Chains A and B, each alone.
Chain A
Amino acid sequence: MADKILTGIPVATGIAIGKAFFINRNHKAHLPRHTVAASQMDEETGRLHDAFAAVETELSAIREQVPAELKDYGLLIDTHILMLKDPKLAGVADEYIKTLGLNAAWALEKAVSDQEIAFGAVHDPYIRERMQDVRVVADKVQAKLIGRETDLSAISGRAIIMAHDLTPADTVEIQVSKIMGFATVRGGKTSHTGIMARSLGIPALVGVDMLEDFVHDGDLVVIDGLTGKIVVNPTESELEDYNERAAFFEDYTRKIKRGCQLPAETFDGSRVQVLANIELVEEVASALDNGGEGVGLYRTEYANLNRTDLPSEDELAEKYIDLAAILSPRKVVFRTLDLGADKFISAFGELNETNPAMGLRAIRFCLRNPQLFKTQLRAILRASAYGNVSLMFPMISGVKEVRQAKAWLAQAKAELRREGVEYNPDMPVGIMIELPSAVMIAEFLAHEVDFFSIGTNDLIQYSIGVDRTNHHVSYLYQPLHPATLRTIKLVVDAAHQAGIEVSLCGEVASDPFCVPILLGMGIDSLSLTPQAIPGIKRIIRQTNMHDCRKLLRKVLECRTVSRINGLVMDNIFKYFPDEVTFFSSLLENDEAPS
């Protein structure tokens, strides 16, 4: 048996085997503090300056390697280098050595404290946050001084980066070519770690409890981004298994990638649109590269996170226009702000709700804060001039909410018209179907909008009444629950009855076991994480509608999840043995833990 098997939330798929390499950043707690004799002061200031110079040399070297497409990272490093050269850090620390006789690391800490006071007095929250950069820079110099540096350049091949949390600054400095995977204690599905890992094509897990307790530097670890497992110091035979699995997976990925630009068309000629879920403009490349035919879900929250003020309309419009322009003529569906629950905007503060999942979030939050809502609607409308933009409202519970949201949209349009700003008056407007109430009145809602997009993550959570991040009950979160499938079918049927299109953008869309059933229902498009597109397109291309409808009919007769699992397993096994090997774990959560 391996020493320990930990679990986390997989945010990037793949399997990696390598040596654990911890990134430790804050040294403040165990900083040596002592005084130096007058005779040693020169030596101490020399050490200080050497440490600053060494970090500067390192950063400059990294700066040179930052690729052009990561321009923002490059500018961040420029800022760090300027801070290193700043008299307010090095100069003031130098003074503290000479006047107070402090050791170099302590003197620097005092200079940092001075900056904390200076920055603390600034009202502009954006500028106040730059204190984090001062901290990052000081940590590096202190690490050099006390000989505890996590020398990122010492990362040799096959390293798996372990951290409490990863910041954009960390990810810049890690020499990505040597990194096999990431694991962090903090972070959720949408964290920076995931975005970074997916763009590098390496596996990553976040939310790994006890990571720092059970994994040590140099431990041999396996990161399984398919099942969410970290295997610490595996046995010979476990290692062999994983090596084989990793090789298979690599082959499989290569194989499916080859055909990913082909249209998603079944044997018998049914065409499904396969689109990408993204949240950064930077992800467009990966979306198209993986065969995405456009963007079916653009999550717009990112611009509001990690900052304390609100983005201006111009700032948003610039981003949105970029996205529409890059994708044109392919379509892009903007989802209006889905804030609240686990994502807050600091400008509004936490709401302190006892049940945030059912609280003031998404469209409810926007309707409560019309100024914020209208700013975003205007920015989206400005991008709509490109002609390929659609918009959808999340968490709609009833007809009145759609009408309210559309009224704000109409007002935003009227304003732009008066101002002579160009926009697409016929921009398609849809809603997310995520609440059981919306499912039950789907036929009414269908008359209010141009399309539906089924958000299965929340829909399953609300219809089965289970929080899938709660490990006591997460086994109940079942995409293949008979109720889930009936729910989805109701929505698809209602949409088609009303003559509107229906898309599905939850994780179910990237689940190879579910997709044939969705095809059988006649879903018009699927929107999923870019990395999963090649696999799903392959499944679509190798199946035919006739079989999918047959499978659906049989599945709808099943009364239990295990019966359904059995059926889809048989189906997949017949046509797609590879998928069974890699994704069967998705079906494992059938029973309650004993």
Chain B
Amino acid sequence: MSLVYFIAIPILASFLTPFYKNYLRFVSVLVNILLAGFAAFFYSRLPLNEFISLDSPLSIIFILDYVSFFFVSLFIGVMLFFSLYSIKEKNNTAVFVVTNIFTSGALGLILSADIFNIYIFFEIASISAYILTGLNRDKVAYSGAIKYMIVGAVASIFLLLGIMLMYLNLGYLTLSSIGAGFHTMDKGIQYLVLLSLFIGFGIKTEILPLNFWVADIYQATPTKIAALFSAVLSKAYLFVFFHILYTLKVDAPALLFLTAIGLLSFAVAELSALRSKDVKRIFAYSTLGQLGVLFLALSSANVVVVSGALFLILVHSISKLMLFFSLDLVEKKMHSTRVEAFAGFRSAFLFTIFAIGFLSLLGIPPFAGFIAKLTILKGFASMGAYGIVGAILAISLVEATYFFRLLSANQRSKKTAEIKVPLLQKIMLSLLALAILYLGLFPQGLLDFCTDAAQTLIQGVIHV
């Protein structure tokens, strides 16, 4: 059994599309089930290193430790959910072709432990994301996709700059050796490397001030795909960035800077959502806000906080899947994602789903978001960083205002259309809602795993 299968199988499934063009949706489900099976197989064998070639600079190393396992299983889960959810969409072969490539890009990003492969998968994931953005094939979609591509290209340039600088100065590309040698480099070069990595990944992890493009992209993207961006893509970049950062053992002031940026990012994003008139944009802002929180929590180098952040990553992915998929149903019926359209639908089921998603994102018990938030705040309290606790709570209040505004808009206005949710969608969305409730009531098992994962992440990739 090799870790390569995680990357090879989905990409192969896409390339072989001509053989089963009309059945790709079923193949996608099968692929994801297969991947889930692999993940289950590897679970008992953690942690795992796999060297494909040892000769530098072409060495390819995959690592599956607790933290990458966490992300791998999360992404496979999300993609499996996505493919099952859309299994009835016969005429949408293009989506499945690209999402499979997208899957392998994201999984590759997580598993790679050498910086050259990280760049390759970074590009694979990004390019498939540009294509996904343009899938609606209208003016908005194309302009969004082109904008995304331009900004993404800038990000790649900076990332490449950072990688080049490291390779020029150290002569190797594996994360573990770079981690060991990083501090032997000249201080100025170190700074430049970190700066280019920060800019490159900062654009992709959507933090201030590098995220001004995001809301437009989300709006141009088909709603269900936006869920994937929010649940998978941004998380993958986030993980890789902090994986590299902790491996390089950056010093405290740099981490502090990232914390401040994260907090600022959170504040500005939530503030922007306050008066937004479009639900999809509001969800995009909310994603930006949550990414800000994650950024700030992951940069704390504290096991409790980071484990809370990992928990939050899972919960946020589930919530955003739920919200975007439900919004997709609303959009199909109302032909718009404006707040007025959102206010006009009638469906007790969807309303409940939205309510659970919002409450969980706000960190309100008894939903899982609360546990994540509590763990993060507890961790900051044990570090004595009460200012951050206060700031997070204060900004969350802004978040609460607009989420509840949406709910009350729907509860109070005249309903114009009744939405009948198909059975499959109903079951899938209920499963997500139940997962959020379950994790809110019985979080201990997952929290323990997150603690292990957090330790692995903070330790970085060790030289072997």
User: Is A bound to B?
Assistant: no
Q: Could you tell me which A residues sit within 8 Å of B by CB distance?
A: none
Q: Could you tell me which B residues sit within 8 Å of A by CB distance?
A: none
